[in-house]
């Protein structure tokens, strides 16, 4: 975690404190940690790489929401500021069911679309598209475990064009089809 944090800031990690309030519930952290559990459960050729990328996202979230770090402490070469990154994460999570337009996110950050994409990748080590697809698959995974919605309906609810589109990305990321995942999860 120290190495990842240092990529996000120009200060030593000894110069900031985390707020360890016990009353905090963060749905994003819970879902992201569940994604790590799923990746480790299923395994696969790229599972260690996926977990490393997700660890970076977790650190960004924790530092952004629960630390004393301010935007002035950030290294401009690290990518988007933590508050901007947090706004981006929140916007994406709230709009997974829609088409997400990079221009809207870039305007929030006050940069052009191409620069926003570069800064996002620099900050998270994944492209914006990869991140959005991952969050959509995470949401689909949760709906498969928690509801009896038809898979085609879940696909649309998560922003996929159709069930085939969901199945393709779900298989790449989770390592199995949505139907197989649901059967296994409901045992």
Q: Where along the chain do its domains lie?
A: 2-14+26-126, 131-185
End-to-end CA distance of the chain: 35
Give the span between the Cα atoms of 17 and 29, in whole angstroms. Answer: 19
Q: So what's the pLDDT on residue 133?
A: 97
Q: So what's the pLDDT on residue 108?
A: 82
Give, for all 187 residues of the chain, the pLDDT tens digit: 444 554 454 343 444 566 666 567 788 888 888 888 888 888 877 787 788 778 878 877 777 777 766 555 545 555 788 888 999 999 999 999 999 999 999 988 888 899 999 999 999 999 999 999 999 999 999 999 999 999 999 999 999 999 999 999 999 999 999 999 999 988 7
96 close to 135: Cβ distance less than 8 angstroms? yes
Spatial CB neighbours of 184, under 8 Å, sequence gap ≥ 6: 176
Under DSSP, the state recorded for 9 is B
pTM equals 0.62
Give the span between the Cα atoms of 150 and 163, in whole angstroms. Answer: 10
97 close to 158: Cβ distance less than 8 angstroms? yes
Domain 131-185 class? mainly alpha
Q: Which of 124, 140, 119, 127 is nearest to 52 (CA)?
A: 124
Q: So what's the pLDDT on residue 3?
A: 45
């Amino acid at each position: 975690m120290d190495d990842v944090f240092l990529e996000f800031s120009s200060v030593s990690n000894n110069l900031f404190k985390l707020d360890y309030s016990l009353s905090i519930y963060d749905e994003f952290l819970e879902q992201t940690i569940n994604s790590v559990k799923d990746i480790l459960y299923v395994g696969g050729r790229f599972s260690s790489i996926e977990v490393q990328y997700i660890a970076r996202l977790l650190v960004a979230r924790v530092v952004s929401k629960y630390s004393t770090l301010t935007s002035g402490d950030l290294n401009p070469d690290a990518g988007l500021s933590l508050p901007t990154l947090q706004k981006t994460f929140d916007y994406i999570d709230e709009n997974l069911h829609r088409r997400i337009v990079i221009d809207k996110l870039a305007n929030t950050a006050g940069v052009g679309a191409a620069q926003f994409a570069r800064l996002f990748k620099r900050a998270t080590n994944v492209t914006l598209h990869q991140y959005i697809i991952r969050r959509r698959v995470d949401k689909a995974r949760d709906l498969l475990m928690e509801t009896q919605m038809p898979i085609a309906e879940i696909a649309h609810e998560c922003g996929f064009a159709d069930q085939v589109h969901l199945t393709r990305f779900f298989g790449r990321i989770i390592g199995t089809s949505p139907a197989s995942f649901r059967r296994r999860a409901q045992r």
